[in-house]
Structure 1
Amino acid sequence: MSIQSHLQELKRRHAAIEQELSRELSSPASDPLRVAELKRRKLVLKDQMSKLNGTFTVH
């Protein structure tokens, strides 16, 4: 898998978690533990994307 395709997959997963998080937060009976877990997973993906984007940086 190329870096670009891996980055695209991470972005896709990040967007899916964002949608799931939005649904959870809009629910009147949202679970705070579920919200925290989704936010953690989203942050992990964001960190991975940042690392991959760093490989493209030209100095």
Structure 2
Amino acid sequence: MSLSSHLEELKRKHQDLSDRVEEVQRAPGSSDIEIAELKKQKLRLKEEIERLSVSA
């Protein structure tokens, strides 16, 4: 897998997590723990994207 396609895949996953966070936040009785975990995953992806973008 090339670096650019890997970056695109990470960006897609980041957007999917963003959508999921919004969906969970709108749901009645949503779990703060679940939201926090999704946000942590999203942040890890963002950091990986930034790290790979700098080295590209």
Structure with the higher helix share, 1 or 2 = 2
- Structure showing greater radius of gyration is 1
Q: How many residues align?
A: 56
Consecutive unaligned residues in structure 2, runs of 5 or more = none
Aligned residue identity for 1:24: V
CA deviation string 1:4-53 (max 9, x = no partner): 00000000000101111000001121100100000000000000000011
**Which fold has the larger relative contact order, with Cα–Cα distance below 8 Å and residues 6 or more apart in sequence?**
2
Which blocks of at least 5 consecutive residues in structure 1 are unaligned? none
TM-score between the two structures when normalised by the length of structure 1? 0.90
Could you tell me the TM-score, scaled by structure 2's length?
A: 0.95
Q: Percent identity?
A: 38
Root-mean-square deviation (CA, aligned residues, Å) is 0.6
